[in-house]
Amino acid sequence: MPACSTLSFARCIRSFCRSVIFAVTACGMLGSPVRAQQPAEETVRSFTVADGFEAKLFASEPMISNPITMDVDTWGRVWVTEGVHYRRARKIPPIDKIKVLEDTDGDGRADKMTVFASDLNAAMGVCVAGDKIYVPESPNVYVYEDADGDLKPDGPRKLFLTGFGGENHDHGVHSLVFGPDHKLYMTQGDSGYDVTGPDGAHIKFQWGAMLRCEGDGTQLEDFAVNFRNPFELAVDSFGNVWCSDNDNDGLQSTRICWILEGGNYGWFGGPENIRNPDGSFDPIHHWRADKPGFVPYAMITGFGSPCGMTFYEGTAFGPQYDGTIFHCDAGPREVRCYTPQKKAGIGYGVEAENIITSTDSYFRPDDVCVAPDGSLFVSDWYDGGVGGHAYNDPTRGRIYRVTPKGKKPFRKEKPGPYDNDDDAIVALGSPNHATTFLARQRLLQSGEAAVPKLAALVRGNDARLKARALWVLDRIGGSGRDYVKAELASDDPQFRALAVRILRRHAGDYEEELLALSDDGHPEVIREVALALPEIRSPEATETLVKLFGRYDGRDRYLLETLHIAA
């Protein structure tokens, strides 16, 4: 099972015993077999679904088995990686598949399946980005190309990056997603990595990390480190990154993290050997979160096998879910929603809500993706065991579609790719990653010609569209970047902070402008100025850092960690 966790020892023993009993039964030694699995429709009936949501079956076995991760393309087709031959069942050469599922008649159920590739071993992600399909499979990340869109690779897959630990293991390189900055984000488990990009950029680390690069593999960097096994990350329109992370099994310390760039998140191959007087374990010691130098978590979710997550920026489920994080945890069999809560100062916490739970003990949700119409797809590994060593049913798997109850969601934009900027501007507001990628691709191709239309979004009232436009304007450069620089003087602190966040990637070019904001009254702006300092490396930057230490009052832990990173 490709979840980020195995079960506790006792649960693993029970899972093993079930497998033995089933094997003996199948051989006719104990009479008629007793199966715990339920038909797919029965599993749906076992759901408890949050108010305002409705979950229905989209696909199941034999169309799909052991789905690990998904992506939804601009046409609403669901791309799925299967892990039928995982761990002990591995095949050489590998034969696991990427399948594309379609609902051609609009009835809400997949009625067409296309095998796109069958040369993988339990790939831990799939990202559809225009005519390229990125797939992580430790020790490699591959890219397939399909320029004519016939759902057949145009030739052999290409090696994109290599050097990731965790081959045939769930602590390897995971789920890929393009952010609003048009960079490719990924996560790596604590099997480590030693990777060199095509431009010579080299990263090496022993444990898990948050990684990103350009779409061609250049500018590779790790921007947060010391995680155990973060299955997937989620990025919002302002560039905020979130992830879940699995604990050392049995310690009920799985966590949700807001990512402070450059941060150390406290995992060094094992938890601290510190117990409470009564013998219980405090999760704070699992991640060293009580010690300066390690960024604290946003929430502890306890026992679990945290898997796929996505940031939801859409209106289909109402304003209360616009700007939240949907997440699958296969251990307790829950699909959750987290609402970010701004702390006083710099950091974030979250509030959690269960969206789907089930009484079917084989229900194992492991990924969630947003469709162009704002609905959600949830994949279900469907197995009695959780963890790569414990799965016992490679023949089943399900995908569910989650919609607003009693309403039919609709998309506002045309499917891509786009041949004009007007359509791309509309598509830039889509909740679907594959669609916004195509929108940015078109606008970047237009370059300076697209600046007036993007500038109109900057002047508009939609904060999310404005943020997305600013990232694109920065990449266009020239007069486009002038709009980003202008936001340094914005009355809105979130856009002053965003302008610093964007421009600090060119920190040496904008030293004077960035350091001038070191007296800003808002903590988010101060955070971004501090994080720019390591890239400036001038006497003025050092003076600014010393001044910023005067802002620390002993209470804002995230400010302390920001200053530590800057130093």
Two structure tokens written together for 181: 């900055």
Instruction: Return d(Cα 390, Cα 384) in angstroms, integer.
Output: 8
Q: Give the pLDDT score at 334.
A: 98
Instruction: Return d(Cα 121, Cα 140) in angstroms, integer.
Output: 11
One pLDDT digit (tens) per residue for the chain, 567 residues: 444 443 333 334 334 333 333 333 333 333 333 358 999 999 999 999 999 999 999 999 999 999 999 999 999 999 999 999 988 888 999 999 999 999 999 999 999 999 999 999 999 999 999 999 999 999 999 999 999 999 999 999 999 999 999 999 989 999 999 999 999 999 999 999 999 999 999 999 999 999 999 999 999 999 999 999 999 999 999 999 999 999 998 899 999 999 999 999 999 999 999 999 999 999 999 999 999 999 999 999 999 999 999 999 999 999 999 999 999 999 999 999 999 999 999 999 999 999 999 999 999 999 999 999 999 999 999 999 876 667 888 999 999 999 999 999 999 999 999 999 999 999 999 999 999 999 999 999 999 999 999 999 999 999 999 999 999 999 999 999 999 999 999 999 999 999 999 999 997 899 999 999 999 999 999 999 999 999 998 999 999 999 999 999 999 999 999 999 999
What does the CA dihedral 407, 352, 172, 265 come to, rounded to 10 degrees? 150
- Whole-Å CA distances, 96 to 17, 116, 162: 27, 11, 20
Instruction: Return d(Cα 294, Cα 272) in angstroms, integer.
Output: 13
Q: Give the pLDDT score at 21.
A: 33
The end-to-end CA distance of the chain, in Å, is 41
CB atoms within 10 A of CB 346: 22
Q: Give the pLDDT score at 388.
A: 62
- Please identify which residue in the block is written with the tokens 């973060």: 230
Instruction: Return d(Cα 115, Cα 101) in angstroms, integer.
Output: 9
Backbone phi, psi, residue 299, to 5°? -160, 145
CB-based contact 161:213 (threshold 8 Å): yes
Tell me the residue length of the chain. 567
Q: Are β-strands 184-188 and 208-213 bridged in parallel, bridged antiparallel, or unpaired?
A: antiparallel
Q: Give the pLDDT score at 365.
A: 98
Closest CA to 59 of 74, 42, 81, 78: 78
Q: Give the pLDDT score at 27.
A: 33
